[in-house]
Amino acid sequence: MNQKTFVKTFKEVQQKMYFLSKRLLTSHEEAADAVQEVMVKLWEKRFKLEEVQNKEAYAMQMVKNYSLDRLKSKQASHLKIVHSNYDNEERNVEEELERLDKVKLVQQMISELPEQYRMMIQLRDIQRYDFEAIENILNMKSTAVRVGLSRARKMLKEKIEEQYKTEIA
């Protein structure tokens, strides 16, 4: 695989790799570093990549594994949650703060899900991967992905309902 083909193949998937890594590592800097490291590894393996059928799923699998390894390492003890807010003049401050609180709450609830469920939600509902790609990334069978995703959504729904019940009471 030459440089032009490599760039064309992995340019679009880089952003998806970043979002998956950021979901796992919660830090912009750590996620960007993870993507960069994986891209270097992919470049080093570029001649072997001809054999890989779904290069996007392969890259996503690599960034997932790298990010999980970073979390398990001693270096990960210093990771912090970094939030990036943006300005939107059309909304008033109160609405924006309320929206951000809801987003943070849902993100927190997702982060409390078991790791496998968390990744399924990230890949399917946030990054919009198809089931075949998720099966390849997570190295799972089709039925296991569908059942796991259903359970993850159910757990998330129950957490949200429980939260709103306590807010009303």
Question: What are 79-122's pLDDT values in tens digits?
Answer: 544 334 444 445 567 777 778 888 888 888 888 999 999 999 98
> How far are the Cα atoms of 99, 105, 106, 132 from residue 102, in angstroms, in the given order?
5, 5, 6, 31
pTM of the shown model? 0.53
Mean pLDDT of the residues in the chain:
83
Question: Residue 156, Cβ neighbours under 10 Å: how many?
Answer: 19
- What residues contact 8, with CB distance under 8 A and at least 6 apart? none
Q: Please choose, from the candidates 13, 12, 30, the residue with its C-alpha nearest in 3D space to the C-alpha of residue 21.
A: 30
In the chain the domains, ranked by start, together with CATH numbers, are 3-78 (1.10.1740), 93-168 (1.10.10.10)
Mean pLDDT of 64-75: 79
Helix, strand, coil share of the chain (percent; to 5): 80, 0, 20
In a 13 Å sphere around the CA of 37, the CA atoms on its Cβ side amount to 15
Of residues 100 and 41, more confidence is placed in: 41
26 alpha-carbon distance from chain centroid: 10
Amino acid at 106: V
What is the residue whose two structure tokens read 């390849």?
136
> How far are the Cα atoms of 33, 52, 77, 89 from residue 7, in angstroms, in the given order?
18, 16, 33, 37
Q: Does the pLDDT at position 73 exceed 80?
A: no
How far apart CA 73 and CA 75 sit, in angstroms, is 5
Give residue 77's pLDDT band: very low, low, confident or very high (50, 70, 90). low
